Amino acid sequence: MDESYLEPLELASTDFCESLEELLESPELDMITICTPPTTHYELAMKVLRAGKHVLVEKPFCSTVEEAEEIFAYAKAHQLIAMPYQNRRFDSEMIAAREIVHSGELGDIFEVEFHFDRFRPEDERPQGTVYDGEFYGLGIHLLDKGISLFGIPDKVFYDIRTLRKPENPDDTFEMQLFYPDKKVILKVNQLIASEYPSLRINGKKGSLVKYGMDMQETYLKQNILPNQDGFGIDQQPITVTLANGEELSVEKRLTPIGDYGKVYDAMYATIKEGKPKLVSDESAIANIRILADGVQHPTPFIFEL
Per-residue pLDDT, 8: 55
pLDDT value, residue 1: 44
The pLDDT-based confidence of 12 (bands split at 50, 70, 90) is low
pLDDT band at 11 (very low <50, low <70, confident <90, very high): low
Residue 5 reports pLDDT greater than 50: no
pLDDT tens readout for residues 249-298:
999 999 999 999 999 999 999 999 999 999 999 999 999 999 999 988 88
CA distance 45 to 5: 29
Among the listed residues 6, 292, 286, the one whose alpha carbon sits nearest the alpha carbon of residue 148:
286
Who contacts 263 (Cβ-Cβ below 8 Å, separation ≥6)?
Answer: 56, 85, 86, 87, 89, 90, 278
Q: Which residue has the higher pLDDT, 8 or 69?
A: 69
* Predicted confidence (pLDDT) at residue 44 exceeds the cutoff of 90: yes
pLDDT tens digits, 145-163? 999 999 999 999 999 999 9
Q: How far apart are CA 32 and CA 209, in angstroms?
A: 38
The reported pLDDT for the residue numbered 76 is: 97
- Return d(Cα 287, Cα 175) in angstroms, integer: 12
Q: Is 299 exposed, middle or buried (0-12, 13-18, 19+ CB in 10 A)?
A: middle
Query: Dihedral (C-alpha) 128, 134, 135, 139: value to the nearest 10 degrees?
Result: 140
pLDDT recorded at residue 243 = 93
For the chain, the three-class secondary structure string (H helix, E strand, C coil) is CCCHHHHHHCCCCCCCCCCHHHHHCCCCCCEEEECCCHHHHHHHHHHHHHCCCEEEECCCCCCCHHHHHHHHHHHHHCCCCEEECCHHHHCHHHHHHHHHHHHCCCCCEEEEEEEEECECCCCCCCCCCHHHCHHHHCHHHHHHHHHHHHCCCCEEEEEEECCCCCCCCCCEEEEEEECCCCEEEEEEECECCCCCCCEEEEECCEEEEECCCCCHHHHHHCCCCCCCCCCCCCCCCEEEEEEECCEEEEEEECCCCCCCHHHHHHHHHHHHHCCCCCCCHHHHHHHHHHHHHHCCCCCCEEEEC
Q: Is the model's pLDDT at 84 over the cut of 90?
A: yes
Please say if the pLDDT value at position 7 is more than 70: no
pLDDT > 90 in the chain, percent: 78
The mean of the pLDDT values for the chain is: 92
Listed range (13-22, 121-130, 164-173) with the worst mean pLDDT: 13-22
pLDDT in tens, 119-137: 999 998 888 888 889 998 8
Share of the chain above pLDDT 70, in %: 96
Rounded CA gap, 181 and 169, in Å? 34
pLDDT tens digits, one per residue of 175-227: 999 999 999 999 999 999 999 999 999 999 999 999 998 999 999 999 898 98
The DSSP bridge partners found for residue 186 are 114, 175
Residue 167: pLDDT over 50: yes
Range name among 10-14, 166-170, 300-304 with the lowest pLDDT average: 10-14
pLDDT at residue 14, as a whole number: 76
Distance CA 83, CA 86 (A): 9
The whole-angstrom separation of Cα 71 and Cα 46 is 6
